[in-house]
Structure 1
Amino acid sequence: MQFRRRPSTPIAPSTSIPTSVLQTWTEDIERARISVEVQGMAVAVVHRGKIIYAKGFGKRNDVDPFTPETLMPIASITKSFTAAAVGELVGDNKAKWEGVPVSEYLPEFQGLPVLDLHWYHRLEPRIELIKQMRHVDAEAPLRSEYIYNNVMVSVAGEAAARIAGTTYEQLVLDRVVRPVGMAETGFSNVTLQTRPNHALPYMCKSFRDAQMGCNHRFPLDTLPKSDAPAGDLHSNVIELANWARVMMHDGELDGKQVLNKESIQTIKTAYTITSRAPRGPEFSIGAYGLCWGIEHYKGRPTVQHKFAGEYTHPVAGRIIIETPKEEDDDEDEDAEDGTACHLKFSFNATQGKLRHYHYDTFVFSNAARDAVRLEMIVTFLPGDDGSVQQCRLFYDPDPIIFTRTTPSAVNSLGGAKKYLRRKKLLSRVDWL
């Protein structure tokens, strides 16, 4: 598949991150790369909708430097493109997230097995492998638990291709990759190895090699991937940073809606708990959306596990939480390190900002705008499904517990009114 080259997205100078901090990033990343014996890598940072940092480290082979434009397999990030392609068909009213069995779109599909190894280096057409799945029992009932499953994502990709009347690869290129402007992104290592600026894999042949820090270069695996919808794309960090921008802005890039907004919001909504125990003291419990892992880090949602929504109490009234728009963040940047974080807060007729304090805890104060001083601590708590279900307001000795009345699909562009306009969004999924 040929693409028309276009200039790389320019790196925007940061007005909030000092140059000395960026230099520290470079030094820290290079030190970490060397310490764990990574041959080559690249890092890009998106801040307030712009790429402010992109740099390569080490080498892409034995000789050439690894640059931000160096192409490499992106493995399971491919899954998010598959989900987006399905979402475009949902936006066209050609498919539904829920209510229609996948087998109606793809009659050959029956069963819910976990068969990742069974599909490894298989040369048969993907649809023939899907036909065999009916002979294997499901590992667990549908929606009962989280099971990482490349084959099921591949089924979704094949079903989407059947709906669109094309191949899976062509569907993703036409409906996702090209609209986002990812001119260097494509499928298959066969194509990748023909590109001049591509990286080669390095790994240790034994545990002793790993102890000695001895990496060996290997050729790219060029056998066809039967589970291509789960991991066959290649790209570079510049284009992946733009992909992140599209995801963070609900399908919008540089002021243009390039992917279906409602579908991207659905993709980023949590549906299954992946871990009931946080993986560290600064993290929330883990959840999974449609091919996106979702959690909080230091109170910040890493994809879309949002606090935003409406919370009510039978006596104390109503609280509405909204995530600020980027321009609101710009106005609020008064922390010395440029990391001010707040939520928009409405408590009955009282309005203001919640400033992040610790993990899922925020602080409200109206001291700057009201003669009657009101200071409160607000903490958000998740329910059994991983979504935020309660807002606890600490003012008197005992907290006032507000219960969420809008589902977790309320997002950063939301608030109650926008949620009501979108309330037909489905909250359960048959696809992935």
Structure 2
Amino acid sequence: MTKLRELLETKVERGTLPGAVALVARGGAVEVEAAGFVDLERSAPMTRETIFRLASVSKPVTAAGVMLLVDDGQIALDDPIDRWLPELAEPRVARTPDGPLDDTVPADRPITVFDLLTFRSGWGFTADWTSPVNQAIFREMVRDGMIPQDYAPPEEYLAQLARIPLLNQPGEGWQYNIGSELQSVLIARVSGTPLPEFLTERLFEPLGMADTGFAVPAAKRDRFTTLYRTDPATGDLSLADRPDGKWNTVPVFPSGAGGMVSTADDWYAFGRMLLNGGAANGRQLLSAESVRLMTTDHLTEQQRAASELFLEGQGWGFGGSVDVTDRDPWNVPGRYGWVGGSGTAAHIIPAAGAVTILLTQASMTGPTPPAVMREFWTYAAEGE
């Protein structure tokens, strides 16, 4: 039994995970292990072809979609977003983070495409879950934090968001998640194509990502996992979504922040493209400069420190974190990628030419990655 398989099997035997698929690629060598089952009933074993809800591991893919439009010359990083998202024109900023929602001042400049990509628009989640702005976002917009398929249609979503003030002036602070939701709408409006169709045409088909999308057709549901919530106190798992549940059809708001499904090999194809400077299968899908911008930390030291709960000292590129220190065994400077609340993680390590992917169906209990992820990253780092 390999060390990687032993790591996964141990978690399954202890009941921490129903199952998992892990992939570690270094250069031309690819190690893949599948352990456990697609559900607690053990109706089918995990395999390399099992389909998972990516959750926030969708974010790098969506950021790549924005950069395709930048490469096309249809948008620029310094363009104000209100050209395409007029609902968000003339945003207001909370005078104080913990003040009432109606105590605001005007934004001192427009929100730009760059602000959305770096999560510095002023809208999003922070470590202070009790702040009036955070509470308003959860109350009015996030109908079920783990199921983005329940979001309101884009027009309604934007109208709701426009009534909530920014936490800070554009560009001044990092907040989580909403930047990717807005990228989802931006791509559709700039391209004139629904997000699922745009990503399929420009990324999924050229990369051979045949099992990646925003819904799972009936013919593939025998490969689709059941999703479980994890009790933060006991670790017990409870049902969140079945294979024939929320991902039956493409939702009214296709969420590039957390709504995609995929397999280990599909995300590996995406990660390989990034490692190759945007090239895949004889085509230059993304420019090398776009890949460089995606995988470069754009935060100030102060912004990283203020976002410690989510980033743990990491920086942020476009759609994913960037390791800036080696303070932990698995922290490799330059590593780019992200984790998903459904129990997923995917990264590239440019200096090592490596891709690491861990897919489970046991949800995280908060922003801090669970032990299985950290053990997996340590394994991947030690094998380099």
TM over 0.5: yes
Q: Structure 1 residues 40 and 158 mapped into 2: Cα distance closer, same or farther (>3 Å)?
A: same
Contact 1:225/1:232 (8 A) holds in 2? no
| Residue of structure 2 aligned with 1:276, choices 289, 293, 305 | 305
Alignment of 1:311-350 (within 5 A): none
**In structure 2, distance between residues paired with 1:124 and 1:225:** 7
RMSD: 3.3
- Cα distance per residue 1:113-150 (max 9 Å; x no partner): 333553224564212221332221111122222211x3
Contact 1:248/1:303 (8 A) holds in 2? no
Aligned residue in 2 for 1:119: 141
Alignment of 1:71-150 (within 5 A): 71-98=51-78, 100-110=79-89, 111=91, 112-114=122-124, 115-116=137-138, 118-121=140-143, 124-148=152-176, 150=177
Q: Say which SS state the counterpart of residue 144 (structure 1) adopts.
A: coil
- Cα distance per residue 1:218-261 (max 9 Å; x no partner): 43351737461211110111111222211222212355433332
- Deviation of 1:192 after TM superposition, in Å, equals 7.2
- Deviation of 1:64 after TM superposition, in Å, equals 0.7
**In structure 2, distance between residues paired with 1:55 and 1:93:** 41
Contact 1:204/1:216 (8 A) holds in 2? yes
**In structure 1, distance between residues paired with 2:252 and 2:231:** 23
**In structure 2, distance between residues paired with 1:69 and 1:258:** 25
Aligned length: 281
Give the partner amino acid of 2:30.
Answer: I
Contact 2:5/2:34 (8 A) holds in 1? no
Of the structure 1 ranges 243-252 and 36-45, higher mean CA displacement relative to structure 2 is found in 243-252
Q: Say which SS state the counterpart of residue 54 (structure 1) adopts.
A: strand
Alignment of 1:177-188 (within 5 A): 177-188=204-215
Q: Say which SS state the counterpart of residue 65 (structure 1) adopts.
A: coil
Correspondence 1:30 to 2:9: yes
| Residue of structure 1 aligned with 2:198, choices 171, 184, 205 | 171
Q: Say which SS state the counterpart of residue 175 (structure 2) adopts.
A: coil
**In structure 2, distance between residues paired with 1:227 and 1:119:** 14
Give the partner amino acid of 1:252.
Answer: A
| Residue of structure 1 aligned with 2:225, choices 193, 199, 205 | 199
Higher relative contact order (CA 8 A, sep 6+): 2
Contact 1:44/1:54 (8 A) holds in 2? yes
**In structure 2, distance between residues paired with 1:59 and 1:34:** 11
- Deviation of 1:291 after TM superposition, in Å, equals 0.8
- Deviation of 1:95 after TM superposition, in Å, equals 0.7
| Residue of structure 1 aligned with 2:333, choices 301, 317, 331 | 301
Aligned residue in 2 for 1:292: 320
**In structure 1, distance between residues paired with 2:258 and 2:312:** 27
**In structure 2, distance between residues paired with 1:294 and 1:30:** 29
Q: Structure 1 residues 146 and 225 mapped into 2: Cα distance closer, same or farther (>3 Å)?
A: farther
- Deviation of 1:324 after TM superposition, in Å, equals 7.5
- Deviation of 1:265 after TM superposition, in Å, equals 1.5
Aligned residue in 2 for 1:43: 22
- Deviation of 1:304 after TM superposition, in Å, equals 5.7
**In structure 2, distance between residues paired with 1:123 and 1:325:** 39
- Deviation of 1:325 after TM superposition, in Å, equals 9.2
Larger radius of gyration: 1
Give the gaps of 5 or more residues in structure 1: 1-21, 306-322, 327-337, 342-432
Give the fraction of aligned pairs with identical amino acids, expressed as a percent. 20
Contact 1:151/1:227 (8 A) holds in 2? no
- Deviation of 1:302 after TM superposition, in Å, equals 4.3
Give the number of the structure whose residues are more often helix, by fraction.
2
Correspondence 1:69 to 2:101: no
Q: Structure 1 residues 132 and 201 mapped into 2: Cα distance closer, same or farther (>3 Å)?
A: closer
Contact 1:179/1:259 (8 A) holds in 2? no
Alignment of 1:349-428 (within 5 A): none
Give the partner amino acid of 2:224.
Answer: H
TM-score (norm 1): 0.58
Contact 1:109/1:155 (8 A) holds in 2? no
- Cα distance per residue 1:165-190 (max 9 Å; x no partner): 1112211211122221101111136x
| Residue of structure 1 aligned with 2:237, choices 215, 218, 221 | 215
Give the partner amino acid of 2:246.
Answer: T
Give the partner amino acid of 1:130.
Answer: L
Contact 1:43/1:56 (8 A) holds in 2? yes
**In structure 1, distance between residues paired with 2:237 and 2:55:** 20
Give the gaps of 5 or more residues in structure 2: 92-121, 125-136, 144-149, 338-349, 354-380
Give the partner amino acid of 2:241.
Answer: P
**In structure 2, distance between residues paired with 1:51 and 1:225:** 40
